[in-house]
Amino acid sequence: MTLLQSITDALDIAMTSDHTAVIFGEDVAFGGVFRCTVGLEEKFGKERVFNTPLCEQGIAGFAIGLSVAGANAIAEIQFADYIFPAFDQIVNEAAKYRYRSGNLFDCGSLTFRATWGAVGHGALYHSQSPESYFAHTPGLKIVIPRSPAKAKGLLLSCIRDKNPCIFFEPKILYRSAVELVPTKDYMLPLGKADIMLEGSDVTLIGWGTQVHVLREVADLAQEKLGVSCEVIDMVSILPWDKETIFQSVAKTGRCIVSHEAPYTGGFGAEVAASIQEECFLNLEAPVQRICGHDTPFLIYLNLFTCQTSGAAWKLSRK
């Protein structure tokens, strides 16, 4: 399956196994811009798969109300760049609903799906990675898959989790990421990082698309420099797996964190600060970050080559 097919499969399973599940968003009824909901309206009907007005704030508010009323709400935000009109609803309503009611009420059966990250030509408004904006909000879970098999299991976990979840989907991987995916119903744990490649000299940490860039860097560093890299996919941004990362850095003594979002205030800063606090005596060098530029997103087709080269350069210098 491609990544988009695995997402469609997960949505199909969720709708089949839970009669309260409802999918809605801009253009989802005819399959969506990226075709992730193809065939679902025909299978489950217009009352469970339907289009909304072009109003992200309204989509989020409706999703929260639907969840509180007892349904399993699966809302699509067509591009993560346009999730900001819904920011207040997600951060001040969905994330705080359980806490402010003393656990009397919640909107746990609530998932926001949004395309995420760069494709190389999306420019300012179709390339952003806004995960760090939401990571500052207790009460949310934030997940970013790297592959079709991970996407299916993680999406089903989000849909069934009793906390509101944001599921960011790397759009460049929709058709380029292909692998064998189990057809059965399965879930993968949220908040558990994956060690994709074991190593001994430096820990490389990323999520989503950037994990594949780091894997290329690891191969290059081994071939050109004889450097053994341990590559870790964080999988979820909130909660994040501190134990796995701290153990890896304690072993290697060096760490590079990389993400597409801008350098300043990116979630890599939180990861780097936590590593400095917990692993200081194990570090052989300061934690390094390789991130996007502190500018609006550029029209730059070789973005990923650029970041791969930058990471390799830092490795060679450190």
Provide the annotated active-site residues: 56, 126
Taking the CB of residue 209, how many other CB atoms lie within 10 A of it?
25
Whether 185 contacts 13, CB under 8 Å: yes
Whether 212 contacts 308, CB under 8 Å: no
Residues 6 or more apart in contact with residue 284 via CB below 8 angstroms: 253, 254
Torsion angle in degrees (nearest 10) through CA of 273, 274, 277, 280: -90
Structure tokens at 70: 């007892």
Smallest CA-to-CA distance from 318 within 271, 291, 286, 280 is with 286
**What's the half-sphere exposure (Cβ side, CA atoms, 13 Å) at 131?**
35
Look up residue 184 and give its amino acid: K
Strands 229-233, 194-197: parallel, antiparallel or unpaired by DSSP?
A: antiparallel
